[in-house]
Amino acid sequence: MIKLGVNIDHVATLRQARMNIEPEPVTAARIAEKAGADGITIHLREDRRHIQDKDVYDIKKAVSIPLNLEMACSDDIINIAIDVHPNTCTIVPEKRQEITTEGGLDAAGQYHLVADTVAKLQEKGIKVSLFIEPDKMQIEAAKKIGAEYIEIHTGLYANTESEAQKRELNRIKEAAVYAHSLGLIVNAGHGLNYTNTQSIAAVPYMHEFNIGHSIISRAVFTGLEEAVKEMIKIVKK
Ligand code: PXP
């Protein structure tokens, strides 16, 4: 059965909008665990726009399901990862001005940088996943680097329609089959939502999906009615 890793970055995005204490990502992590999530995913970005260093430590302590830390190849963050010891680290590319992670890691082009980061984490017993495009060259680089997992970037699939989306779905299928044949464990994520996830779930050898934005967006509306009712009780007392 495919596992679900819940990415709670955008709970922190909302908190950072006010630089306040609510909503707390650690509470979101606990709720996701209680709801049956198989893991919690957080991205400690270099610009700290959502998740903060303290969140990483707090969340690791608060949940008993595996923590997956998304991170760039940056010494500062490698040190935090080694200190916190998440179950897995997913290496992602990072550009300061991007709205979200745009495209997969160039594991082939940045081979030495990525291999060095992976080695530092694995040396401390942390398993590593590489967030890459569904591309043969990137999969082969991930294998050569010695990553345990790849996470196939589903962003292009999520952002296209009809024939272009079918083509991308096929590329993802071929990539999953190839990566599995090399002994890599295959995850997927980015842009997956309540309507486009089913087709990706039908791709062979999928191990885990990391889904964030659509779950947090849905939670706003599934929770809003209750939140308004609670405030009405206070206001109209
Ligand atoms: N996987 C990776 C590697 C990501 O960088 C992200 C976004 O932080 C996700 C999954 C989750 O993407 P989304 O928020 O679109 O579900």
Confidence at residue 41, expressed as pLDDT on a 0 to 100 scale = 98
Confidence at residue 99, expressed as pLDDT on a 0 to 100 scale = 73
103/94 Cα distance (integer angstroms): 9
Confidence at residue 23, expressed as pLDDT on a 0 to 100 scale = 97
Radius of gyration (Cα) for the chain, nearest Å? 18
Ligand 1 centre to CA of 49 (Å) is 15
Global pTM value: 0.96
Ligand 1 centre to CA of 206 (Å) is 16
CA of 131, closest atom in ligand 1: 3
Give tens-digit pLDDT for 15-30: 999 998 999 999 999 9
The residue extents of the domains of the chain are: 3-235
Residue nearest to atom 5 of ligand 1 (CA): 101
14: which residues sit within 8 A by CB, 6+ positions away?
A: 23
Confidence at residue 63, expressed as pLDDT on a 0 to 100 scale = 98
- Binding site feature residues for 3-amino-2-oxopropyl phosphate: 7, 18, 191, 212-213
Residues with CB under 6 A from ligand 1: 7, 9, 43, 70, 90, 92, 100-101, 131, 151, 189-192, 210-214
Query: What is the DSSP-derived secondary structure letter of residue 85?
Result: -
If 0-12 CB within 10 Å is exposed, 13-18 middle and 19+ buried, where does residue 130 land? Answer: buried
Residue 174 appears among annotated catalytic residues: no
Residue 190 appears among annotated catalytic residues: yes
Superfamily name and number for 3-235: Aldolase class I (3.20.20.70)
Cβ 14 vs Cβ 23: under 8 Å: yes
Angle between helices 136-145 and 162-181 (to 10 degrees): 30
Confidence at residue 103, expressed as pLDDT on a 0 to 100 scale = 87
Least Cα distance to 2 among 176, 181, 222, 216 occurs for 176
Confidence at residue 95, expressed as pLDDT on a 0 to 100 scale = 77
Confidence at residue 237, expressed as pLDDT on a 0 to 100 scale = 84
Confidence at residue 210, expressed as pLDDT on a 0 to 100 scale = 98
List, for the chain, all residue ranges whose pLDDT scores fall below the cut of 50: none
39: which residues sit within 8 A by CB, 6+ positions away?
A: 3, 4, 5, 6, 65, 66, 67, 68, 87, 208
Residue 85 appears among annotated catalytic residues: no
